[in-house]
Amino acid sequence: MSRTFARLSGLTVAYRAEGTSSTALEAVDLDIVAGERLAIIGESGSGKSTLALALAGLLPGDAHVTGRIAWPAYGHAPLPGRDYGFVFQDAGASLNPVLPVGEQIAEVAQRHLGMAWREAYGRARDLLARVRIPHPEAALRAYPHQLSGGQRQRVGIASAIAAQPRLLIADEPTSALDMVVQAEIVALLGELVREDGMTLLFITHDIALASGFADRIAVFRNGRLVEAGPAIEVLSHPKDAYTASLITDHIDLSTPPLIAGDTA
Amino acid sequence: MSAPLLSATAISRTYAGSGRRVVALDGASITVARGETLGLVGPSGSGKSTLARILLRLVEPDAGRIDFDGVDLLSLRGEKLRTMRRRIQMVFQEPLAAFNSRATVGSALADPLRIHGIVSQSERPAAIAHLLERVGLDPALASRAIHEISGGQRQRVAIARAIATKPDLIVLDEAVSALDVSVRGKILELLVGLQREHGIAYIFVSHDLAVVRAISHHIAIMEAGRIVEHGRAHDVVADPQSATGRALVAAVPRLVLT
Amino acid sequence: MSVLSRLLRSPEGAVGLAILVLLALMALFAGVIFPRDPLSIVGPALVRPFTDASFPLGTDRLGRDVLAELVHGTRASLAVGIAAAVVALVVGSLAGTLAGFAGGLVDEALMRIVDAFQIVPSFLLALAFVSVAGASLPVVVFAIALGAWTAPTRLARAEVLSIRERDYVAAARVIGMRPLEIALREILPNALPPVLALSSVIVASSVLIEAALSFLGLSDPNIVTWGSMIAEGRNVLRSAPFLSIFPGIALMVTVLGVYLFSEGLAEALAKRRARA
């Protein structure tokens, strides 16, 4: 029997600036099931990032929130790091450029698990190995700018899971990476989530990417939840025309080429 | 068989600075046929963007030769180079960053028309309106500021700017990567349509093999500054010979419906 | 919403603008409010301030109206301060853009010249120049600009170096724009905002340097400036401190007004660009 991890009821987020107001999310009702991998699909302006920030309590100060987010799993709003981990789109910007990555990961363990620094560094090294960074011992002392984009994202994931949170929110974690690295990172996330029994909220604009690992899919458009349901159902029998258009607009290797006379 | 429009041979480029040497390109060679699209694919760091910029003479190579329609491209300087620029144009990845923040749609399109004297000043507004129609935009957009229009519209304006001088070749550097999925297909259709109408050749640089496959006649795969595989698009995708090719094919997300 | 209304909403912007407008009015209408030459003797010497209605701020050692001198002095201070800042900013922006855009030897040569000017404290530089070239307002303006042009140059150059790598500059090169047009149309306008932010600092320090120069008797002797007023009051500092205090307050208020205004303006402009 699946438990509700979090429940959004009528969640509305608006930004007010100088008399004008823009609604990023409108009347969203969505359940997050414990242990599931939920993919939030949306294009630009859909509100998907706002949703991630709202769940993480990271909305800017001038955001106006109505409706509620209930957390049956915790009984209180989740604490960053301890109760949930957040993986950002731009790993480079979310890491402190003047601190070695080992220290940044260790700090999460030290602060939230009450570990001594020595122990925390050991945990950081183990995490780096788990996210498949080569030479984890040496990597502890590396600075973010010395790592590639894909490696920085692995570090971001390592620090997100360092305190063993039950929820992992990934906001377009692969959108800034190339295809090959993207596939590796997605596979890594799937593996970690499965091993640790975490609930995963994966935000992306790529419906095919989500189809590869999501249990459920929620489609957003212009701040509204358009459709939500089990992945296979939404993809094979979309109820909404927008969802259907996202599926048909997707380009993969089986899409017939647009240029004529290419039969070879 | 006609001679290729562009033939780049053994292009090399190394970046040296503060004790480190990064080999961006290591003897890469490509050819593009007239009116056809060459897809240049590779993971990040493979050198494809560097190669694109070298073809546009934005970056100078350390070694190599580029023949463009019988002309030694790398030997051109000053006014001769500027005149040659009419024939090779570029579309960038980030539509917003590719325009001066103070520009309007009209002023951005007027620039190439004015610089190369393609039409007289009085004829320019009509030429701009015509260009906007060719890329599927309302001519009334000419008075709008670049940051006021949508991302997809902006990229169409970038394409209009690129075709303003009636080039023989356009280099597109990840030109649809920053666009919404629903907009991507339309931009690709526009590009293919323009190619059919005007015989423009494209070099389409991307890390997304699926997008490249959709509009390329030939594909060249890059890894670590070298071309590791090339051939007809269909062949390369159906049966990749290189490890990089196989990795790129495997990395394309497929809709999993079961 | 226009920049002006946004400016007026912030307390810094509103107060700063009010002060600057007041000063500007004082400078513009000095001749109307006090038509007589402020350096003319109008009454008994050393009348205390707030005692005589016809001399609200008192008179100095020679019997000149302090309030008239104060109001007329606004002209010199504002004129020199703003003129020097404009010269410094224009020269600095052009030199910095040239250095950043041209690179190589031109850049190296210009930066070494900037170094040379920065080594000497700007006040001493101004002092030396005025001593040699003679004291008149244009000379004072130039003397102050000699020290003030280096900071805008460095800043403009840094901005240009970063802007040079942007895609829209590459796009301009690709469509065949000539280097001069790229520098003036694509790069310079986008490099200016941080340089303009410096303008408040430069105006403020120019006003103070001018005051110091005229305190030392090195400014134009035929016009009244706040610095010369302070110099006058130095001799009777113990018995009539008000002669130096009032121009001192005027200087302080001017500098404060300039800073507050530019704070408010920077905020108002930043919001506009962030929204766009």
Write out pLDDT tens, residues C215-259. 888 877 788 888 888 888 888 888 888 888 999 999 999 989 988
CB contacts, 8 Å: A253 with chain B? 209-210, 213, 237, 249, 252, 254
CB proximity A257 to C under 8 Å: no
Contact A205 B151 (CB under 8 A): no
What is the C-alpha radius of gyration for chain B, rounded to an integer number of angstroms? 19
Enclosing H/E stretch for B226: strand B226-232
pLDDT tens, position by position, A162-213:
999 999 999 999 988 989 999 999 999 999 999 999 999 999 999 999 998 8
Could you tell me whether strands A224-230 and A216-221 are parallel, antiparallel, or unpaired per DSSP bridges? Answer: antiparallel
CB contacts, 8 Å: A173 with chain B? none
Of C170, C173, C190, the CB nearest to B101: C190
What gap in Å lies between CA B112 and CA B124, rounded to an integer? 11
Q: Say how many C-beta atoms besides its own lie within 10 A of residue A107's C-beta.
A: 18
pLDDT at A20 over 80: no
How many domains does one find in chain A? 1
What gap in Å lies between CA A230 and CA A228, rounded to an integer? 7
Nearest partner of A121 among A154, A158, A90, judged by Cα: A158
Can you give the pLDDT at residue A261? 54
Pick the residue with more confidence: C9 or A25? A25
What gap in Å lies between CA C267 and CA A193, rounded to an integer? 45
DSSP state of A2: P
What gap in Å lies between CA B235 and CA C270, rounded to an integer? 53
How many domains does one find in chain C? 1
What's the complex ipTM?
A: 0.91
Query: Residue C97 sits in a domain of what CATH number?
Result: 1.10.3720.10
CA distances from B10 to B25, B62, C89 (A): 9, 10, 48
Phi, psi for A202 (deg, rounded to 5): -115, 115
pLDDT at C275 over 50: no
CB proximity A41 to B under 8 Å: no
Q: Say how many C-beta atoms besides its own lie within 10 A of residue B171's C-beta.
A: 27
- The reply to whether B45 falls in a domain is no
Find out whether B54 and B60 touch, Cβ atoms under 8 Å: yes
State which residues form the domain around B152.
99-166
Find out whether C119 and C199 touch, Cβ atoms under 8 Å: no
Q: Say how many C-beta atoms besides its own lie within 10 A of residue A3's C-beta.
A: 9
Tally of residues, chain A = 264
Could you tell me whether strands B71-72 and B63-68 are parallel, antiparallel, or unpaired per DSSP bridges? Answer: antiparallel
- The reply to whether A226 falls in a domain is yes
pLDDT tens, position by position, C106-142:
999 999 999 999 999 999 999 999 999 988 888 989 9
| Residue where the block lists tokens 């009051």 | C233
What gap in Å lies between CA A219 and CA B221, rounded to an integer? 34
**Count of CA atoms in the C-beta half-sphere (13 A) of B193:** 11
Helix axes B105-115, B151-163, angle to 10 degrees: 10
pTM of the model: 0.85
Cα of A22 to nearest chain B Cα, Å: 16
Find out whether B168 and B3 touch, Cβ atoms under 8 Å: no
pLDDT at C194 over 90: no
pLDDT at C197 over 50: yes
The residue-averaged pLDDT of A21-40 equals 92
What gap in Å lies between CA B253 and CA A206, rounded to an integer? 8
The residue-averaged pLDDT of C59-75 equals 88
- The reply to whether A256 falls in a domain is no
Find out whether B105 and B181 touch, Cβ atoms under 8 Å: no
Kindly give, in sequence order, each residue whose CB lies less than 8 Å from that of residue C23, ignoring residues fewer than 6 positions away: C74, C78, C253, C254, C257
Q: Which of A67-76, B16-25, B29-38, C138-147 has the highest mean pLDDT?
A: B29-38
Instruction: pLDDT band for A1, please (50, 70, 90 cuts).
Output: very low
CB contacts, 8 Å: A235 with chain B? 255-257
pLDDT at A258 over 50: yes
The residue-averaged pLDDT of B18-22 equals 84
Find out whether C99 and C110 touch, Cβ atoms under 8 Å: yes
Contact B181 A250 (CB under 8 A): yes
Could you tell me whether strands A20-33 and A37-41 are parallel, antiparallel, or unpaired per DSSP bridges? Answer: unpaired
Find out whether B109 and B118 touch, Cβ atoms under 8 Å: no
Can you give the pLDDT at residue A55? 92
What gap in Å lies between CA C233 and CA C227, rounded to an integer? 10
The residue-averaged pLDDT of C180-186 equals 89
Can you give the pLDDT at residue C225? 87
Cα of C270 to nearest chain A Cα, Å: 14
| Residue where the block lists tokens 């840094």 | C158
What gap in Å lies between CA C264 and CA C17, rounded to an integer? 9
CB proximity A174 to B under 8 Å: no
pLDDT at B49 over 50: yes
Joined tokens for residue A194:
């499965």
pLDDT at B108 over 70: yes
State which residues form the domain around C158.
3-275
Contact B44 A207 (CB under 8 A): no
- The reply to whether A127 falls in a domain is yes
Can you give the pLDDT at residue C276? 40
Strand-pair partners of B219: B39, B231
**Percentage of residues of chain B with pLDDT beyond 70:** 99
CB contacts, 8 Å: A18 with chain C? 1, 6, 271, 275
pLDDT at A264 over 50: no
Can you give the pLDDT at residue C1? 57
CB proximity A62 to C under 8 Å: no
Phi, psi for A251 (deg, rounded to 5): -110, 120
Q: What is the mean pLDDT of chain A?
A: 90
Collapsed DSSP state (helix, strand, coil) of residue B67: strand
Collapsed DSSP state (helix, strand, coil) of residue B254: coil
What gap in Å lies between CA A90 and CA C276, rounded to an integer? 23
Chains contacting chain C through 3 or more C-beta pairs under 8 A = A, B
* Residue type, position B245, single letter: G
Collapsed DSSP state (helix, strand, coil) of residue A95: coil
pLDDT tens, position by position, A75-99:
888 888 889 999 999 888 889 999 9
- The reply to whether A171 falls in a domain is yes
How many domains does one find in chain B? 1
Query: Number of helices (H) and strands (E), helices first, in chain B?
Result: 9, 10
Strand-pair partners of A170: A87, A202
> Residue C98: which region, alpha, beta or left (left: phi > 0; alpha: psi -120 to 50)?
alpha
What gap in Å lies between CA C187 and CA C207, rounded to an integer? 31
Contact A249 B37 (CB under 8 A): no
Find out whether A156 and A95 touch, Cβ atoms under 8 Å: yes
State which residues form the domain around A193.
36-53+79-249
| Residue where the block lists tokens 């981990």 | A85
Of C168, C176, C190, the CB nearest to B85: C176
What gap in Å lies between CA B248 and CA B258, rounded to an integer? 23
Chosen for mutation from A15, A16, A18 (greatest number of chain C CBs closer than 10 Å) is A18
B94: nearest CA in chain C? C167
Instruction: pLDDT band for C190, please (50, 70, 90 cuts).
Output: confident
What gap in Å lies between CA B188 and CA A87, rounded to an integer? 32
Contact C168 B115 (CB under 8 A): no
Can you give the pLDDT at residue C273? 52
Q: Say how many C-beta atoms besides its own lie within 10 A of residue A134's C-beta.
A: 9
Joined tokens for residue A138:
């040496």
Query: Hey, CA dihedral for C165, C169, C175, C181, is it positive or negative?
Result: negative
Question: Angle CA(C78)–CA(C82)–CA(C87) in degrees, nearest 5?
Answer: 150
In order, the DSSP letters of A107-134 are HHHHHHS---HHHHHHHHHHHHHHTT-S
- The reply to whether B147 falls in a domain is yes
Can you give the pLDDT at residue C271? 59
Q: Say how many C-beta atoms besides its own lie within 10 A of residue C166's C-beta.
A: 18
The residue-averaged pLDDT of B57-82 equals 94
Query: Residue A145 sits in a domain of what CATH number?
Result: 3.40.50.300
What gap in Å lies between CA A38 and CA B69, rounded to an integer? 53
Query: Residue A264 burial (CB < 10 Å; 0-12/13-18/19+)?
Result: exposed
pLDDT at A242 over 60: yes
